[in-house]
A and B are shown apart, each in its own frame.
Chain A
C-alpha cells in the first residue's frame, strides 16, 4: 500500500503569538524541511482542514500565521501551547531564493500577504550580504491590523522599508495603498533585481500593473496565489486555474505565467 497522502499528523504547538485581535502566529514543532513560500494542510480532527502558508521557520519548528475567519480557524484559536495541531505537508513550490541572491529584491505585501514573505525576509535580515538591497513595501488596512510589529521594526534597520496604512495616519507609516508607493522604488537604478508581490487578489493585480508601469519587466515579478484547497496534492480540483493546479505548480508563480491564468 502506498503512503496515504491525506493522512494528517499531530504536531505540538510550542508557542502562540498574538499579532492582532484576530491574527495569531502559531509556532509548531516539526522536523519537516520547508522552503520559503510553501504551505501545510492544517487541521483539527472533527472540525476541518485548510491550507496555511508558513510565515517563519527554524530548527524543528515552523510558524503559521492564521486569521480567525472561519470554522476551523475559530477552533485553532482555542488551542493552547502544548496542544496538538494536525498537519500534512509541506506542499507547493517556493520562492526562488537562490535566484534572488546577489541582486536587488523588492517585496510588496499587503495584509496577511506579509505572512508568506516573512520567512525569506527574515532569512535576508540574517544574511543581508546575500542581496544587493532589499526594498520592502508593507501595507495594512489600519493600525489595528498591523502584523509582525517587532519584525517590521527590525527590517527597518537593514532594509529600505515603506510601511503604509490604507487610511490611518500614525508614526512610521505612510497613508495609502501599497500601489501608491511603488513609484518610490528606484527600479531604474537597479541593474538586476526581482520583485515579489503577495496580498489580496486585487492588490496583486494592481501592484503588478504599477510595477510594469514603472519599467519592471514581467519575468522579474513573482506572486503567490491563495486558493481554496481540500487536498493540497492535485486531486480535489478546487485550486485549478486553466491547466494549472495552484497546489502543485504554485502557490508561487512568475508573473509571465500568472498573468495568463484566467480564473
Chain B
C-alpha cells in the first residue's frame, strides 16, 4: 500500500515511531565539511522529516549506525568484565539501495564468516528496519548499476520526497496502521537503471592470471599517490575491518575497557605484527589488496556477489582524488591485455628499469 503524506503529518508519524525506534538518516552538519564553508552530510538521529538530506549524497555510509567507528566490547574492573549494553529501542534507517545491499555484505562477514556470529553486530543489526530512499538520478561517481546493487526489495517503507508531500510505500505490516488515514496513491519506488560512471569487472579465472595481476606495474603508481589515510574505508558501506584496543581510564588505572575500532587495510600498520614485520609494505600493495577484495576474492569466497556496491563514496572522499571506478577499469584493461598475451609492464620490469637508471 502506498500513501501521499504531508510533511506535517509525516512528522507526527515520526514522533509516534520514536516511541519504539531511533530513526537515522543523512543529516546536514553545517560548515563541518572537509573544505572551508562546506557542509558535512552524514548519518545521525533525526527529529523531523526536514532533517533528512534526500537530494544530496551522504559523505559517510549508514554502517556506523550498527557498526560504530568505536565501540566498547567489555568494561574491565579488577578480575571481572562486564559486557557493554545497547539501547533497547529498535532502529529505522533511511537508506539508499546501494547501502541496503551493502549491509548484506556486512552481515556476511559479521554473522556468517567462519560459522560464528558477532554479537555486537547482531544485537544492533536485528533491531534494524530500512526506509528506502529513492534515488531520482545517480550522482557522478555512482556505479551501482555495474555492481548490481541499484535495486533492492529489502525495506519496510520506501519514500519519495515530492515537494511538500512525501510518497510512502508501506511494505511492512507493523507500520500500516500509522498510515491508515492517509490518502492512498499509486507509488512504488523507482531505481536508477544507468550511471554516468560504469565499470567493467575483470574476469580472473586462473591462479596464473592472478599472479600476473599481482605483479602489474599499475599498482606501483599508487605508491606515490595514495597516502594510506584509510578515508576510502571509513566511508565504505562494506569495509568491516577493525582493531581491538584496550584502554585504562586515567582516573582509575584499575578499570578500563576493550574497544573495537574501525580500521583500514590501506593503513601502513594493518598487517604489522609485534616485532615489526609486515606483509603489505607499500601503498600500491595495499591498493591491490583492497581492489581485489572488493571485486574478486570476496565473491570467490562467498559466491553470491562482489563486495563493492558502487556507492562511489571512496573516490569522493579520497584526498588524493584516486578514483576506485577508474582503478577497476584500469585493471580490466590490463587483464584484457594479459588475456590477449599483450605484454604489460610488470613490477619486476619496473624495478629493473629503476635499477638501470
Instruction: Name A residues whose Cβ lies closer than 8 Å to a Cβ of B.
Output: 1-8, 10, 43-50, 67, 69-70, 72-73, 84, 200-201, 226-228, 230-231, 233-238, 240-243, 245, 247-248, 260, 262-263
Please, which residues of chain B bring their CB within 8 A of the CB of A44?
Answer: 246
**A1 CA / B292 CA spacing, docked (Å):** 35
Interface residue? B175 (CB, 8 A):
no
> Which residues of the other chain, A, contact B265 by a CB distance below 8 angstroms?
237
Q: Chain A residues with Cβ under 8 A from B245's Cβ?
A: 48
Q: Is residue B356 contacting chain A, with contact meaning CB distance below 8 A? A: no
Q: Closest residue to B275 on the A side, CB-wise?
A: A69
List residues of chain B with CB within 8 A of the CB of A4: 83, 119
Q: Are A237 and B120 in contact (CB under 8 A)?
A: no
| Residue in chain B with minimal CB distance to A237 | B241
Residue in A6, A73, A263 whose beta carbon sits within 8 Å of that of B279 in the complex: A263
CB-defined contacts of A6 to chain B, threshold 8 Å: 73, 118-120, 244, 260
A83→B280 CA distance, assembly (Å): 37
21 sample A-B contacts, Cβ–Cβ < 8 Å, listed by A number:
A1-B119, A7-B83, A10-B79, A45-B258, A46-B255, A46-B257, A67-B275, A69-B274, A73-B274, A227-B271, A230-B243, A230-B244, A233-B118, A234-B114, A235-B114, A236-B242, A236-B243, A236-B244, A237-B241, A247-B114, A260-B210
Contacts A7-B74, A48-B244 known; list 15 others, CB within 8 Å: A4-B83, A4-B119, A5-B119, A6-B244, A46-B248, A49-B244, A49-B258, A200-B277, A201-B279, A228-B273, A236-B244, A238-B241, A241-B279, A260-B207, A262-B214
A227 touches B292 (CB 8 A): no
In the complex, how many residues of chain B place their beta carbon closer than 8 angstroms to a beta carbon of chain A? 53
**C-alpha gap A236/B210 in the complex (Å):** 24
- Which of these, A47, A228, A247, contacts B271 with CB under 8 Å? A228
B76: Cβ under 8 A from any A Cβ: yes
Looking at chain A's contact residues, the main secondary structure is loop
> What is B's interface to A at a CB cutoff of 8 Å?
73-74, 76, 79, 81, 83, 109-110, 113-114, 116-120, 122-123, 207, 210-211, 214, 240-248, 255-258, 260, 265, 270-275, 277, 279-280, 285, 289, 292-293, 297-298, 300-301
Q: Which residues of B contact A43 (CB under 8 A)?
A: 246, 258
Interfacial chain A residues near B289, Cβ < 8 Å = 263
Please name the residue on chain A nearest to B298 by beta carbon. Answer: A243
Measured CB to CB, the nearest residue on chain B to A232 is B114
